């Protein structure tokens, strides 16, 4: 009797956990990439995040990534912060609520790294 609700809970928690892992991995890798290659940081961050969300089975998740530098993103030693915000759809619930009302769980992760010194 409680097996079906318990199964929905387990699947939902697994989906949210996958979203957390994807957001955290994306933030770490985006900040590290931006700290070493600041010129094309935004394009690299988008590609990295897309790969992480696909790897975790969240192709339909809506996510955005924001890179922020305290000074300029080319100053050696300056911090660069990558923040990933994702809306993770909860599986199985849309059939109950209807197609127009899909429940989402919002997860957010950020990581800060320092801009690497320029080696010539």
**pLDDT tens figures, 55-65:** 999 988 899 99
CB-CB contact of 31 with 112 (8 Å): yes
The tokens of 22 are what?
């994807």
Confidence of residue 9 (pLDDT cuts 50, 70, 90): confident
pLDDT in tens, 35-94: 888 888 889 999 999 999 999 999 888 999 999 988 877 788 889 999 999 999 887 665
Domain boundaries, the chain: 3-114
Whole-prediction pTM: 0.83
Measured over the CA atoms of residue 21, residue 26, residue 31 and residue 32, the dihedral's sign is positive
């Amino acid at each position: 009797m409680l097996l079906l609700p318990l199964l929905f809970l387990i699947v939902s928690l697994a989906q949210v956990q996958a979203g957390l892992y994807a957001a955290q991995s994306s933030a770490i890798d985006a900040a590290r990439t931006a700290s070493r290659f600041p010129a094309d940081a935004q394009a690299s961050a988008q590609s990295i995040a897309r790969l992480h969300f696909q790897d975790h089975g969240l192709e339909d998740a809506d996510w955005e990534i924001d890179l922020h530098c305290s000074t300029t993103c080319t100053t050696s030693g300056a911090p660069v912060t990558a923040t990933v915000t994702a809306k993770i759809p909860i599986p199985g619930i849309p059939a109950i609520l209807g197609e127009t009302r899909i429940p989402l769980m919002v997860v957010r992760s950020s990581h800060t790294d320092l801009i690497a010194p320029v080696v010539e």
